[in-house]
Structure formats: structure tokens, C-alpha cells
Amino acid sequence: MITKSNAVTRDADLLKKIPSMVSLTITTLDEKTAKLLEPNAPPPAERLKAAGILIAKGIPTSVRIDPIIPFVNDDPEEMIKMLANIGVKHITSSTYKIKPDNWRRFSLAMPKTAEKLKLLYFEKGEKRSGYTFLPRELRLKLMKNVRQKTEENGMKFGVCREGLSQLNTAPCDGSWLLSSGQG
């Protein structure tokens, strides 16, 4: 189950009875930024608490630090340390990929940052499968940083949909947690 909602904790007893895992998305720890990026999602503090509750109940839980956006949340070191401290064993990450609809919303929510991102995406970026990606070298740098911080904190790392699977220390979706029995 992939979710941004802390409400997943209410189903913890059910999740314990069936083969399942939860992957919680936490884009940033900054409440104001989170509200701009994900206006209808629970605050990051509530999602962190939910991850801790799920882990304490023995439910395999990974966290998606996703998407990584330059100038916004491109150094998640503090979050990675917090996640390690509550017992998260796996981090999945990827970068922001632009489609016209999400770019419009992002540009309205964070106009100054959008202006800085235009060069990276629209002049230097790559078009793939209907999305505009950051330049490959920048994606590689950002994902290497998340992987390094993740490994330094004793967790596994996976990157999906970036063409950078060589960085994975475990399957990108955290599914290894199902068979390992680790929460």
C-alpha cells in the first residue's frame, strides 16, 4: 500500500493479518512547504508518527521521499536520520517529473522556485514517456546523495523510474520487507 495518509494506522490490525507492507510518502519535513506541495495531505509530522506506529505494530513500512525537487527538498538528511531513529528500514526516492498539469499547479504554489527550475527542466532536461525529467547527471547526483545518507543510517535504498537502478541496494519499492519480516 502506497499512501500519504496517516489514516492507514487505523487498519494496522488488519494489515498484520495479511501479507502486506505500507509505503508512506513524506516529501518534506517543512510543514509550510508540504502544505504548498500537497495541500490535501496530512502534515509531515503526522505521517512520521504513522510510520512509527506501523513499525511498532510489526507492519513492514518503508518511506518514499518523493519527489526530490531542487531548491525545495534536495537534501533530506534530517528526515533520513529521523526515519532511521523510528526504525524505518527502506527509503525509496525519485525526482520531480513534469507534466503540464502538475507544472501549472507547482508554478502557482511556488512561483519563485518554478522560475529557477525552468532552465533545468525545459532547456537542459530530458523528455521521456510524456514527462520532462531533470538532466540525467543532476538526477544521478540527487539520488546518490539520498542513497548515501540512507546507507549511513543503516537503511536500504531504492530509486524507481529514473533509469538509475544501479543505485538500488534493494528492490526500489521496498517489497523485500515483506519476505524479511522487518517492519
Res. 96 pLDDT band, cuts 50 70 90: very high
> What is the per-residue pLDDT for 29?
96
User: Is residue 153 domain-resident?
Assistant: yes
Question: Whole-prediction pTM value?
Answer: 0.92
Q: In what order do the strands lie in the sheet with 61-68?
A: 2-3, 22-25, 61-68, 90-95, 156-159
CA distance 95 to 100: 16
User: Is residue 46 domain-resident?
Assistant: yes
Helix (H) or strand (E) holding 109: helix 100-109
Mean pLDDT of 23-38: 96
Give residue 31's domain range.
2-96+135-180
User: Is residue 118 domain-resident?
Assistant: no
Q: What are the CA-CA distances from residue 125 to residues 104, 121, 122 (Å)?
A: 17, 4, 6
- 106 phi/psi in degrees, rounded to 5: -60, -45
User: Is residue 107 domain-resident?
Assistant: no
> What is the per-residue pLDDT for 181?
54
User: Is residue 67 domain-resident?
Assistant: yes
User: Is residue 125 domain-resident?
Assistant: no
Structural domain count, the chain: 1
Mean pLDDT of 124-134: 95
Q: Is the pLDDT of residue 33 over 60?
A: yes
pLDDT digits 0-9 by tens, 160-177: 989 899 999 999 999 999
Could you tell me if 127 and 145 are in contact, meaning their C-beta atoms sit under 8 angstroms apart? no
Q: What is the domain-level CATH number for residue 9?
A: 3.20.20.70
